[in-house]
Structure 1
Amino acid sequence: MFGLDAATALALVDSYGAVAVFVVFALEGALVGKVLPARTLFVAAVVAVGVEAIAVLPVFAAAVIGATLGQAVVFTVVRRFDADPTSLPLVPVGESRLDGAGRWFDRWGLPAVAASNAVPGTRGWLAVPTANASSVSAPRFAAASLVGSAAYVGALLAVGVAVALGFGSAAELLGAEWVTAL
């Protein structure tokens, strides 16, 4: 199954570049069900563009900005329209997880938003309780979201570079025929 996801991710990156990364991370940030795992897409994008900083920077920026924008949209919709995104079948976050996220925010404040965004599996959960039960402004929430998303994507970048360098070493060992078959 990982092979299928990686092939799909590489096809998306090949066709749409950093725009595909932006869209997938924005959907993930908006708590929408995963169309394609964002981590797989990001690592595939890094492998596709190479490890040079100038090539990776747009992919990194697209992921961070997409995730931050998606979370800011959820925050704003919850705050302005008193919406409950967890009532939608596309949003895979249950009430018990939101209660735990709310307790996190009550205890730690905005640093909890940044920390939760840096941890896989909890990304974006604090958008709803923060919007519902606090006086935090949208720009401050977005800034905390951006910090956490940058840390998360930075860790993914390290994985992507390691994978890309591993493919380079494997290509050298197996010869040029392997690279063209990939």
Structure 2
Amino acid sequence: MFDPSVATALALVESYGAVAVFVVFALEGALVGKVLPARTLFVASVVAVGVEAVAVLPVFAAAVIGATVGQSVVFVAVRRFDADPTSLAVVPVGKERLDGASRWFDRWGLPAVAASNAVPGTRGWLAVPTANASSVSAPRFAAASLVGSAAYVGALLAVGIAVALGFGGALGLLGPEWATAL
């Protein structure tokens, strides 16, 4: 009935809870290739735990903190150990993409880190150029990463709630005029 990655995601959430979400988002934040699609795991987790705030909050926090930890590890590895994550086969970001990220950071500065983390497909790219070409401290980088990741995961949360409630149920939360508009 489910796609294999969704079934695997649900099994991980059932067995390990928010820890599974944390690990997958930390790996995604560290630019490591997708073990499981993080978006799929998150939405499946929201569906599995339900839509009550008490149940969803640990999943939300695990995703945001996991992504921030993963990106911070890359930032520190590049800054302190002169690591080149793009030289690893498991990192799906090439030099040409990092050049574009560097130009983005040069133009917009630290807010670009938050903005890039809020956009699927660019998440985490600015960890390497920020560490290489700036005097940004690790805590400031982590704060910008956290803000962008919270926006990204917040959007995923809205999708997860919509899936959990069904499209009509989600429109009903907006008010009766929206629920009857379709």
Quick check: TM above 0.5? Answer: yes
2: CA distance, partners of 1:134 / 1:2: 45
Change in 2 beyond 3 A, CA 1:134/1:9: same
- Which residue is equivalent to 1:57? 57
Deviation at 1:166, TM superposition (A): 1.2
- Which residue is equivalent to 1:98? 98
2: CA distance, partners of 1:7 / 1:167: 21
Cα deviation, 1:55-106, whole Å, max 9, x if unaligned, reads 0000000000000000000000000011100000000000000000000000
Q: How many percent of aligned residue pairs carry the same amino acid? A: 89
Change in 2 beyond 3 A, CA 1:130/1:48: same
Deviation at 1:40, TM superposition (A): 0.2
Matched, 1:139 2:139: yes
- Residue identity in the other structure for 1:148: G
- Which residue is equivalent to 2:40? 40
- For the residue of structure 2 that corresponds to 1:90, the secondary structure is coil
2: CA distance, partners of 1:2 / 1:53: 25
* TM-score under structure 1 length normalisation: 0.91
Aligned alpha-carbon RMSD (Å): 1.5
Deviation at 1:167, TM superposition (A): 8.6
- Which residue is equivalent to 2:151? 151
* TM-score under structure 2 length normalisation: 0.91
Note the residue ranges of structure 1 that are not aligned, 5 or more in a row.
170-182
Note the residue ranges of structure 2 that are not aligned, 5 or more in a row.
170-182
The structure 1 segments of at least 4 consecutive aligned residues displaced by more than 6 Å after TM superposition are none
- For the residue of structure 2 that corresponds to 1:44, the secondary structure is helix
- Which residue is equivalent to 1:116? 116
1: CA distance, partners of 2:48 / 2:2: 16
Deviation at 1:168, TM superposition (A): 9.8
Structure 1 window deviating more from structure 2 (160-169 vs 94-103): it is 160-169
Change in 2 beyond 3 A, CA 1:2/1:94: farther
- Which residue is equivalent to 2:70? 70
Cα deviation, 1:40-64, whole Å, max 9, x if unaligned, reads 0000000000000010000000000
